[in-house]
Structure 1
Amino acid sequence: MINPRFSMLIKIQQEREEKLQAQFVAAQQFFQQSEQKYQGLANYRTEYIHQSQQQGSAGLQSRQYTQFVSFIGKLDQALLQQGRAVAQAKAAAEQRKQSWLAMQKKRKALELLVERSNMAELQKQLQQDQRNADEFASQQFMRRLFTAEQD
């Protein structure tokens, strides 16, 4: 039987662990969304350059070329920013994962401690029961012996 104090501690640990797991899942999803945005931007940049090259083969005016270069520069900046956001999201997800795993480890250690405590208590109770049974058997033997001597 689990001591009520230990039961409450385990319950608190489980709740903390579940909260940290939910935070990890949310951070992981945010990381994946950030990565998808980055890939979308990179694909758009590649497609824009490809289309611009096709249009450019027919000839570009200097104004169009300047706009093209300027827009590619803006896309490159957006990719850099999104790349940083992806790196930060990945680091945050990893940190949340480590926190969750550490809490899981604490909970398992507490459960193991409780299990060992319960086993020690059970062993103690079994030894006490054995002593009681030995004492009872000894008393029975002495009564029979005493009764046999009086007959």
Structure 2
Amino acid sequence: MALKQLQLLAKVQLEKEEKLQAQFVQAHQFAQLAVEKYTGLANYRTDYIRQSQQRGAEGIASRQFNQYLNFITKLDQALTQQNMQVQQAQRVADMRRSAWLAMQKKRKALDLLIDKELQAAYVRVQKQEQKMLDEMATQQFFRRLQATEQ
């Protein structure tokens, strides 16, 4: 494959890699937000239970106690749902990270191929220049030899 084509392909792969990296960063940030929401909700639940226990120690009506229990049940359901969102967001972030790293690996392999091609081209040019210098030296030698013979 021609060097120009390889370089164009590397440019395209770099653009894809950057796009995949941006998608990973976005997914990772979303997962972090989901974790923060979960943590906030869990902390709120803990505080709410502590508060309800304090009020319960002071004595509350059974109706109010049932309201506390119902709300805690709703908080537990919300925590379960948020935990599922955290897990889903982390799976998406992991998949996007894998895709980004796979593209990065392909691009690096292509960069290595380009480097090898450039090195091979450099060696070819050096050999051609050396051959040309050798020919010029040989021609000069024969000219001098003919000049001395005359």
Is this a same-fold pair by TM over 0.5?
yes
1:64 is matched with which residue? 64
Determine the C-alpha separation between the residues in 1 that align with 2:30 and 2:117.
Answer: 42
Determine the C-alpha separation between the residues in 2 that align with 1:3 and 1:103.
Answer: 20
Determine the C-alpha separation between the residues in 2 that align with 1:7 and 1:124.
Answer: 19
Determine the C-alpha separation between the residues in 2 that align with 1:3 and 1:49.
Answer: 68
Instruction: Map Cα deviations across residues 96-133 of structure 1 (whole Å, 9 max, x no partner).
Output: 11111111111111111111101101101100110110
What TM-score results when the alignment is normalised by the length of structure 1?
0.95
2:4 is matched with which residue? 4
1:98 is matched with which residue? 98
> More deviation in 5-14 or 117-126?
5-14
8 Å CA contact retained: 2:3, 2:117: no
Identity of aligned residues (%): 54
- Deviation of residue 91 (structure 1)? 1.2
1:32-43 aligned at under 5 Å gives the runs 32-43=32-43
Following TM superposition, where does structure 1 have runs of at least 4 consecutive aligned residues deviating by more than 4 angstroms?
A: none
CA RMSD of aligned residues (A): 1.2
- Deviation of residue 86 (structure 1)? 0.6
> More deviation in 23-32 or 3-12?
3-12
Determine the C-alpha separation between the residues in 2 that align with 1:58 and 1:12.
Answer: 69
2:149 is matched with which residue? 149
8 Å CA contact retained: 2:21, 2:97: yes
Q: Give the residue type in structure 1 aligned to 2:107.
A: R
Q: How many residues align?
A: 149
Determine the C-alpha separation between the residues in 1 that align with 2:18 and 2:146.
Answer: 66
What TM-score results when the alignment is normalised by the length of structure 2?
0.95
- Deviation of residue 3 (structure 1)? 3.1
- Deviation of residue 7 (structure 1)? 2.3
Determine the C-alpha separation between the residues in 2 that align with 1:57 and 1:120.
Answer: 83
- Deviation of residue 70 (structure 1)? 1.1
> Which sections of structure 2, spanning at least 5 residues, go unmatched?
none
Instruction: Map Cα deviations across residues 21-54 of structure 1 (whole Å, 9 max, x no partner).
Output: 1100000000000000000110000000111111
2:48 is matched with which residue? 48
